[in-house]
């Protein structure tokens, strides 16, 4: 806990009495944001109250919840002076809730917590110990444990945990930004603000530079971009698993979504890109910042493309392509569509005799791809489109060839079935209508002597019945 002197001036008579008092500031300010988290906010707050070190404060921002979240928070923190509740009258989203919390934070460091997550009980104690020897570090990044919730399976939880906990070591200057927002360096950072302990001064300064507008989908990438752009140092201690993250409880799942929700995500992402452009421009458009922003934009498109494939039904996929062409333009729509289309084509080419069924993704995606035939401003993207056209054409040729092979195979099978049926009938005829015995022939001749009308009919009938014109009774 840090102690700062505060000078109080007391007026009495003709002289001013000067009194110095000491204000205690906590080591960490937890900024907890909650919107309609009635099912889990108490669990989150309990994890803070369970800290083995009491040297913290918690600023809990209820973002105008419409459920009982605010009442649960008030009951949970009642009597604990370390906790402060801010109830917003209008919902503004996670970014503005964090910004509100930062403006009230007084700790030496700030940690952001989402209302559906938990903090390990030793976190404050451990961070206080490790940071005491390195007061120069701006951002301490700790690790997470991931628990699968809802439609998220355990395999997805393991993959997320590995991604968050892979980074290691100490970083400085633009290396922090490039490790997060480029493929240039090997030690990849994750852009979550909820796995970091951030110096108060840096946090306040960075959030003052951020927009006062509402942000939506992936807003933490915007916040982290500006935070690490302003930071001078970051230290990874991912072996300290400070956050219990519940994947699948919210937007992190894989359940289907409706067309309006997807188009809202697209709009929110591009509003965020515009805000980041404003920040980069304000910073005089430095080369590294611009390069990292372009990389981030491509990551946004890859994520939106993945959501387009996994979460939308076939009809909504078509509608979404039309929307994106109008909203974000042909170039970015193509960048979103090309990866899943080419991947699907390559998979089909690996299957020797595969024929996609009518309505399958290949046909629908190829149809949407072929609509984007305008000239493109980027030579690189034009080349990618041309390569995709070749792959799509190769698949079409393969499918046509496979259909001809399938048709020939079916025709051959039909002829074989016809021949087998003919042989079966002949066998049946031979079994039930074999030529008569010699005794039966004598009886026939008595009843229908040769040369008579009956005898002639007998001969004709025998020929037709047995298919043997050489047979004579």
The kind and range of the H/E element at 244 are: strand 233-247
Residue 23 has pLDDT above 60, yes or no: no
Mean of the per-residue pLDDT values of the chain: 87
Residue 306 has pLDDT above 90, yes or no: yes
- List the one residue out of 221, 305, 213 whose CA is nearest residue 262: 305
Q: What is the pLDDT of residue 424?
A: 84
Residue 284 has pLDDT above 80, yes or no: no
Query: Looking at the DSSP assignment, which residues form a beta bridge with residue 140?
Result: 197, 235
Q: Cα 96 from chain centroid?
A: 24
For the record, the structure tokens of 275 come out as 């805000």
The kind and range of the H/E element at 398 are: helix 379-432
Average pLDDT estimate for 431-439: 57
Q: Please state which of the ranges 20-24, 174-178, 307-311, 438-442 shows the lowest mean pLDDT.
A: 20-24
Spatial distance between the Cα atoms of 395 and 379, rounded to a whole number of angstroms: 25
Residue 234 has pLDDT above 70, yes or no: yes
The answer to whether the predicted template modeling score (pTM) of the entire model surpasses 0.95 is: no
For the record, the structure tokens of 304 come out as 């939106």
Model confidence at 465, pLDDT cuts 50, 70, 90, reads low
Higher pLDDT, 19 or 368: 368
Q: What is the pLDDT of residue 112?
A: 98
pLDDT per residue as tens digits for the range 317-353: 999 999 999 999 999 999 999 999 999 999 999 988 8
Cβ contact 160:247 at 8 Å: yes
Spatial distance between the Cα atoms of 36 and 57, rounded to a whole number of angstroms: 22
Higher pLDDT, 395 or 470: 395
Phi, psi (rounded to 5 degrees) for 424: -65, -45
Q: Cα 190 from chain centroid?
A: 15
Q: What is the pLDDT of residue 13?
A: 43
Q: What is the pLDDT of residue 17?
A: 44
Residue 428 has pLDDT above 60, yes or no: yes
Q: How far is CA 272 from CA 47, 217, 230, 378, 427, in A?
A: 32, 9, 18, 23, 79
Q: What is the pLDDT of residue 429?
A: 67
CB atoms within 10 A of CB 383: 11
Q: What is the pLDDT of residue 250?
A: 54
Q: What is the pLDDT of residue 201?
A: 97
Model confidence at 189, pLDDT cuts 50, 70, 90, reads confident
User: Where exactly are the structural domains of the chain?
Assistant: 2-253, 440-473
Residue 219 has pLDDT above 90, yes or no: yes
Residue 472 per-residue DSSP state? -
Average pLDDT estimate for 114-121: 94
Q: What is the pLDDT of residue 15?
A: 42
Residue 356 per-residue DSSP state? P
Cβ contact 348:398 at 8 Å: yes
Q: Please state which of the ranges 272-286, 346-360, 426-440 shows the lowest mean pLDDT.
A: 426-440
Q: Please state which of the ranges 239-248, 375-384, 422-431 shows the lowest mean pLDDT.
A: 422-431
Residue 207 has pLDDT above 60, yes or no: yes
Candidates 3.30.1360.20, 3.90.550.10, 3.60.40.10, 1.10.540.10; correct CATH number of 2-253?
Answer: 3.90.550.10
Higher pLDDT, 259 or 440: 259
Spatial distance between the Cα atoms of 200 and 152, rounded to a whole number of angstroms: 34
Cβ contact 280:289 at 8 Å: yes
């Amino acid at each position: 806990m840090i102690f700062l002197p505060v000078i109080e001036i007391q007026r009495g008579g003709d002289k001013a009495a000067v009194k110095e008092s000491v204000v205690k500031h906590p080591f960490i300010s937890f900024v907890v944001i909650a919107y309609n988290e009635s099912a889990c906010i108490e669990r989150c707050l309990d994890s803070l109250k369970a800290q083995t070190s009491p040297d913290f404060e918690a600023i809990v921002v209820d973002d105008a919840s419409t459920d009982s979240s605010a009442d649960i928070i008030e009951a949970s923190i009642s009597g604990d002076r370390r906790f402060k509740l801010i109830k917003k009258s209008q919902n503004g989203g996670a970014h503005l809730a964090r910004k509100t919390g930062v403006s009230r934070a007084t700790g030496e460091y700030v940690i952001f917590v989402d209302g559906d997550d938990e903090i390990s009980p030793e976190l404050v104690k451990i961070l206080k110990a490790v940071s005491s020897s390195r007061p120069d570090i701006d951002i301490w990044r700790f690790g997470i444990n991931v628990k699968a919730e809802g439609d998220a399976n355990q395999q997805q939880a393991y993959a997320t945990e590995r991604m968050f906990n892979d980074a290691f070591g100490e970083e400085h200057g633009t290396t922090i930004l490039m490790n997060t927002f480029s493929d240039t360096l090997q030690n990849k950072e994750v852009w979550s603000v909820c796995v970091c302990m951030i110096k108060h001064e840096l946090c306040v300064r960075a959030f003052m530079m951020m927009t006062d507008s509402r942000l939506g989908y992936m807003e933490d990438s915007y916040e982290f971009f500006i935070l690490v752009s302003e930071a001078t140092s970051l230290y990874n201690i991912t072996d300290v698993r400070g956050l219990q993250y519940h994947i699948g409880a919210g937007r992190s799942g894989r359940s289907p979504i409706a067309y309006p929700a997807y188009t809202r995500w697209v709009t929110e992402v591009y509003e965020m890109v515009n805000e980041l452009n404003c920040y980069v421009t304000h910073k005089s458009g430095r080369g590294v910042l611009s390069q990292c922003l372009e990389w981030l934009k491509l990551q946004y498109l890859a994520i939106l493309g993945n959501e387009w494939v996994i979460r939308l039904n076939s009809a909504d996929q078509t509608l979404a392509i039309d929307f994106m062409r109008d909203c974000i333009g042909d170039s970015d729509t193509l960048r979103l569509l090309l990866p899943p289309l080419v991947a699907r084509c390559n998979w089909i080419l690996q299957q020797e005799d595969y024929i996609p069924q009518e309505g399958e993704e290949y046909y629908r995606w190829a149809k949407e791809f072929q609509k984007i035939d305008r000239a493109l401003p980027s030579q690189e993207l034009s080349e990618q489109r041309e390569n995709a056209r070749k792959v799509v054409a190769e698949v079409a040729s393969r499918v046509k060839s496979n259909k001809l092979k399938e048709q020939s195979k079916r025709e051959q099978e039909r002829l074989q079935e016809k021949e087998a049926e003919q042989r079966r009938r002949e066998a049946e005829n031979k079994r039930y209508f074999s030529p008569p015995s010699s005794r039966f022939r004598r009886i026939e001749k008595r009843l229908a002597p040769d040369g008579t009308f009956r005898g002639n009919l007998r001969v004709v009938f025998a020929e037709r019945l047995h298919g043997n014109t050489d047979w004579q009774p």
